[in-house]
Structure 1
Amino acid sequence: MLRLFAFLMMLLASPGVFAQDEGPRGIHATEVVVTDTALVPHARPAIVAGELKTQRFVILHTAKAAGAARALAGQIEGVRDAFGAMLGRDWPGTTEIRLGVGRQEFEALALPGGKPPGWAVALAYPGHQIILLDALSLSDTEGPTTLRHELAHVALGQLAKDWPRWFQEGVAQNLTDERYSVAHYSALFRAVTQERVFHFEDLSDEWPDVPADVEIAYAQSAAFVAFLTGKHGSHAMGLLVDGVRAGEPFEQAFGKAFRTSLLLEEQDWREGLAARYGWLPLTTSSALLWLTASVLCVAAFARRMRQKAARMTELAAEDAAEDAALRLLAAARAAGPLPVDG
């Protein structure tokens, strides 16, 4: 229990435990959304070796990415169906996915003037319904999440314009199940216990500059969208999409779709934060068991490693002693029998 308490205190006092100074981790550090609609797709890039078509997608791929393209073609329609189930609407038209292998091919598939940053492995052009992916990222553990995240940005960009930043990121994370991560829980735990939860009006256009606050902004956006979806359902979400698509300001469309105001819904959501992410659930729910088990596992692993290291040292000492004894025996044999006195 003392170890668990120490772990929780470290979590509270050190935002860097889950939000490193270099910025957001995971797909937030590897994906880019290009909203510049002035970029114009020219002729098909010369590096494209083939294409695969599904009902609502066309996948352009290089020769090296042919296998990844075939695998993606078998999955992509099901992924899009899941989006419609949450948003209550499917976005129109055909979405283009460009697949290349490695940095050189990835950059060669980008739109003219829209070269991706060196750290990005995924890029979305929502205004053009184009997604650019390094096929190598699809085999990574976060590959499917990266793809879904980019699709979410394309979906919202095609369904309507002028979405608040928090809503875009919240929807994207719910469609990728990122909100269930330990990093999100820890960010909200810090936000609640340190009273650092942002007002969503402050996350409408701008995003925080401090990495630890960026993690909080992502986490609370995901949690609030999940709250709205769970409370009102996909039908109301679809009405919200319809309103914003028709040109209504977001808050006006929100009020019509959910029959309440954004401010009241935010207040309702905030009232339940302490019960879900404060100290109370850590001491009264299965979260305590989970954290305790995690700490015990880490402690057991550390103890096992110490025991293993000690055993290896012991074996090395035994081997050294045995080698020394063999050398002495060999030396004695080489010297011959000892002389016998008179």
Structure 2
Amino acid sequence: MIELAGLTKRYGGKTAVDDLTFSVRPGIVTGFLGPNGAGKSTTMRMMLGLDHPTSGEVLIDGERYDRLRDPLLAIGALLEAKAVHPGRTAYNHLLCLAQSNGIARERIDVVLDLVGLGAVARKRPKGFSLGMGQRLGIASALLGDPRILMFDEPVNGLDPEGIHWIRNLMKRLAADGRTVFVSSHLMSEMALTAEHLVVIGQGRLLADTSMADFIRENSRSFVRVRGPEPERLRAVLERTGGGVTVTETAEGALEVEGTEAARIGELVAGQGLVLHELSPQQASLEEAFMRLTHGSVEYEAHNGGEGPGAPDPPGAPPAAGGWGAQWDSRRGKGE
């Protein structure tokens, strides 16, 4: 488990992380979200002892990171996949990490095969593609078979097969009872991987909740209804009462809020009306995220005509994110 209590980091007059308190529990994949400049990388660096908090603390299974005797056996992290010595082979990169943490050599071949790099173990990473570099970084995180794993943008540079693989790997690690904490700007991937979300904006905690609750609480849900007799259909639905609201779209469909699709189907069937569409609609994770965080965006592009401060419309792609720095398992310092 990872526990943050009042974690704060200031750089001069700027507060990068502001009194963060939350826990990352074992057994589930926890997603870490926030706009660019929200303080995610600084938070993850403080978790690994790369930055020291101004106040507050982080505990890794009840201990501060700098008090862990063999860090890789407790927590593995991927923060910057390219932070490897260019003159070492993939095998020797892992060997250095293994020797500094008392890990048997045999474990190196295991993780290289696990991430699909067994055939290039004796090659230097400077010739690796971005996706291969990601796989080596993931191998480094898995080397000590730790109970806690942290990944920052783990699917960056991976092809579809690699994305599917890392998604299932994180789920398997969580199912095995491990603590899995992952930061990503790819909302579609996060929606398929994470069960719980921690969301921050401008260094402050905005949400600490399940994926389902986050989407429900930060989005509009309705049932889309369409049929050949829209006026009769609307009249039937508006007589329902009980807080049900009906809105007509430009395409002639009806958006019904305040009741479930099954109830709508029963009401319409009772009136002998034909339906061409009856579909529950819920916002995506991306739309819910943008709705919650639009007031916390530090770097925002403006579309022509919208004026300063107008948030991008729902569905607009989020900006690409930055990367934290990788850590050296023996010294606990950035490379």
Q: TM-score range by the shorter chain?
A: under 0.3
Of the two, which has the highest radius of gyration? 1
Calculate the TM-score normalised by the size of structure 2: 0.24
Calculate the TM-score normalised by the size of structure 1: 0.23
Hey, which of these two has a bigger chunk of strand by percent?
Answer: 2
RCO higher in 1 or 2 (8 Å CA, sep ≥ 6)?
2
